[in-house]
Each structure stands twice: as C-alpha cells, then as structure tokens.
Amino acid sequence: MFSHSPFTAGFSGNHDFDYEIRVVLGHAISGASDVGEVLAAVADVKDKDHEAWFSAWSTLGDRVAQQADDAAAGGHAVSAAAAFLRASTYYAVAVNALSALESDDQLAATFRKHRAAWDRWVDAVDLDVERVAIPYEDTTLPGYFFRAPVAGMQGSGPGPVLVAVNGSDGSLPSLWSACVGGALLRGYHALVFDGPGQQSMLFDHDVPFRPDFEAVLTPVLDWLVDRSDVDNDRMAVYGISQAGYWVTRALAFEHRPVAAVVDPGVVDVAASWTREIPHSLLKLLDKGDDHAFDRDMELGMRLSKSTARTWRFRARPYGADGYAATVREVHKYDATDVAGRITTPLLITAPEDEQFWPGQSEQLAQLTPDVSTLVRFTAAEGADRHCQPLARGLTEQRMFDWLDQRITR
C-alpha cells in the first residue's frame, strides 16, 4: 500500500521553501494564516523557481488584502481584521523571497504593503493596541504595546508584561503568532518593536544589527518602567530564532526581567555562517588574509548568483563592507564568555533536528546551569526543526505554563 507523509516528506523539494511553508502553516493557530490558501498558493512553485516563489506570496498577499478592503468597506470589521493579519504574513514571506531574485527593486514597495496590512489589522482588530516610539540613542524604535484585558493577571492595577524580541528577519505577524496572542490570553501585556537591523529600522533607516543587545533591551525596559499599567516586578522577555542570542547576551548585563524564554538557545551566531563556507577559505580568514578570502569568495559568488543574492540579503543587517569584514562582524555575536553572568530564570527550547544552531540550546544550558530549564521538542510530537514551526500551540503551552510559575499573580 502506498503511503505518504507530508510532515516528513515535506511540502516542497526545496528545503528553504519547505521550512518557510511550515512556518506560515504554524501561524494558522493564531489566525495569521489559513492552511488551504497557503498550500494552494505554493502548489505549483517548482523547487528552483525563485521568481514564482516570490510571485506566489506577493499575489496571495494582494488577494487577501483586497478581501480585507472589501470586508472593511462592507462593515465587516472582524473579517477585515482577520484578512489584514493574514495578508501581512504573506507579504512578509514575499519580502524575504526577494533575496533570491536578480533585483531587489520591489523590496521597498513589498515591505510597505506588508507593514500597511499589519497597521490596518492593528486598527481593525478588537484589541487594545498602542503605537509607541521607544527612545533609543539619538532616535526611537517603533513598536506596538498590547494591553491585556482587565480581567487578566493585573486585575485593576499594573500587570505583567512580555517583551517580544524578533529574529534576524522576522516580521511582526510572526511575533503575534509566536507569543503575543498567547500572552494576551493569559493576562500579560505584550510589547513588540523593531530593533537595530530589524524590519523598518533596516529597510527605512538603514540601522544595522549590534551584538551588545543590552544597549537595546535596557532602554526598552526603561521605557516600560515609566508606564503606569506595567508592574515593574513582573517583566519577562521572549526571544525567537536569532533573538535567542540577543536575549541571552542582554540578560548577562540586564537583570530586571524576572523570567525569560529563548526559542531556541543561540550562543554563537557565526556557526550558522561558517558551516556553509569551505574550510580552505576559513583558513585564509584565520591567517588574517582578508584579501585572499574576499577574492576567493567573490569567485564563488560569480559561480552561484543565487548564493550571491542571499549573501547580500543576509549580510546587509550587519553593516560591514566585504566578505571577510562581514564574517568577522558576525563572529562578534558570541555569548560564550558572558552567559554565565545571567541571573534571570531562563527557559531554553531545544527542538530535535535544529538546522541552524544544532547543539547550542544544550550548550547554553551548560553555560547557565543554575538558572536554566531545557525543554526538548521532538519529531514524534510534530515539534522538530528550528522554532518548532508546526507545533506553536505546544510551544506556547509549555513556555507560558513555565512563565506563569515565575510571574507572581
């Protein structure tokens, strides 16, 4: 008898496409995607057809955004809000899909459509959401503060808050699905924001990442402390994907959060980069021969235009000029020497078959034995791979049950 398992066989023969599909399908639990329209949109995309991949998501975003506009015009506020959220998710995938195309001329326009759909959702959804600007050095970080219903943990006074930190290319709808929706249901306020190198700070202002994320988290917490609706003794932090590094690094210096979750643990960001670079080239870098490294990398990029485009997209947020300079910059994102300073109780997710930073959740737990709790997720549970894309309900349950025990009601 013929048998077929989409879970193990995958939704695409292209591993990157397959993973992205899984991530978006996982958003369905929070209303940020709809399974049927996603699978129908990508059904005919061939494994190496990056133009079709971008077009599938951009077209789906356009169609669902139009549905949202029509619903809003007809006075159907609930339907409009739901469609705007889904459209924002689909446009976010299209933004990242542009990294593999010959030209990124459509990047600005696609990102604007993504953020416009998100903002229309914020305006239409039946939630208490405030657009905020968080003081940061000589500028501000744009964000959104979600207030939990009064019947939650805060009662009529200040309530607990979860600060959500995004990964390297994550979108705001992905944070809604990862933790914000679950936080509100449990009586937590939630804050999301674009940090340096993320989303609008990169695309609109060209502000790069920074490795010392305590310089970002501290002003964010300072801003929260001044709010009358936030209980300063019940602040928690969540970091997804590469934010597993950023939150880890920040907590080595910023001790006000009473609990934190990293999903997954990331100690050395560069490991996901150097794994893809030939050993012979890494030896040039180790010797300090940046000229030879750049020369040979340039030759390799000429042989693979898709790799060159992906490199440009991934390297841009680090703000370095040249291949060697970029790799050296990424190497600064290493928390090995500071993780032992963390005093905040820390939950670390550890999915089976973690494909980007394998073994680093366990490494972080070893570096923080007095404060960390390692929670494993398995393929048998449908919860394998980076950030458990098809098991966000299980992830939400485990992390919030753990947080609830550490946030005094």
Beta pairing partners, 199: none
Asked if pLDDT for residue 4 goes beyond 90, the answer is no
Q: Does the fold of domain 128-267+344-406 match that of domain 9-122?
A: no
What's the DSSP call for residue 268?
A: B
Res. 236 pLDDT band, cuts 50 70 90 = very high
Res. 2 pLDDT band, cuts 50 70 90 = low
What's the DSSP call for residue 176?
A: I
Q: Please tell me the predicted confidence (pLDDT) of residue 310.
A: 85
**pLDDT digit string (tens) for 288-322?**
999 999 999 999 999 888 888 889 989 999 999 99
Residue 179 and residue 190 in contact, taking contact as beta carbons nearer than 8 Å: yes
pTM attached to this predicted model: 0.95
Domain residue ranges in the chain: 9-122, 128-267+344-406, 271-330
Q: Please tell me the predicted confidence (pLDDT) of residue 153.
A: 54
Q: Which amino acid is at 279?
A: H
Looking at domain 128-267+344-406, its CATH class is: alpha beta
Res. 157 pLDDT band, cuts 50 70 90 = confident
| 310 closest CA partner among 273, 281, 353 | 273
**Lowest-pLDDT choice from 2-11, 106-115, 362-371:** 2-11
Share of the chain above pLDDT 70, in %: 97
Q: What is the CA radius of gyration of the chain?
A: 21
Q: Are strands 128-136 and 372-377 parallel, antiparallel or unpaired?
A: unpaired
Q: How far is CA 56 from CA 106, 133, 338, in A?
A: 14, 34, 43
Give the C-alpha separation, 209 to 206, whole Å. 10
Write down the CATH superfamily of domain 9-122.
acylaminoacyl peptidase (1.20.1440.110)
- For the purposes of burial, counting CB atoms within 10 Å of the CB of 181, is it exposed (0-12), middle (13-18) or buried (19 or more)? buried
Residue 387 and residue 263 in contact, taking contact as beta carbons nearer than 8 Å: yes
**pLDDT digit string (tens) for 164-179?**
999 999 999 999 999 9
Backbone angles phi, psi at 347, to 5 degrees: -95, 130
Backbone angles phi, psi at 207, to 5 degrees: -90, 125
Classify 30 as helix, strand or coil. Answer: helix
**pLDDT digit string (tens) for 78-120?**
999 999 999 999 999 999 999 888 888 999 999 999 999 999 9
**pLDDT digit string (tens) for 12-22?**
999 999 999 99
Asked if pLDDT for residue 5 goes beyond 80, the answer is no
Q: Which amino acid is at 274?
A: T
Classify 402 as helix, strand or coil. Answer: helix
Give the C-alpha separation, 232 to 316, whole Å. 36
Average pLDDT, the chain: 95
Give the C-alpha separation, 266 to 313, whole Å. 21
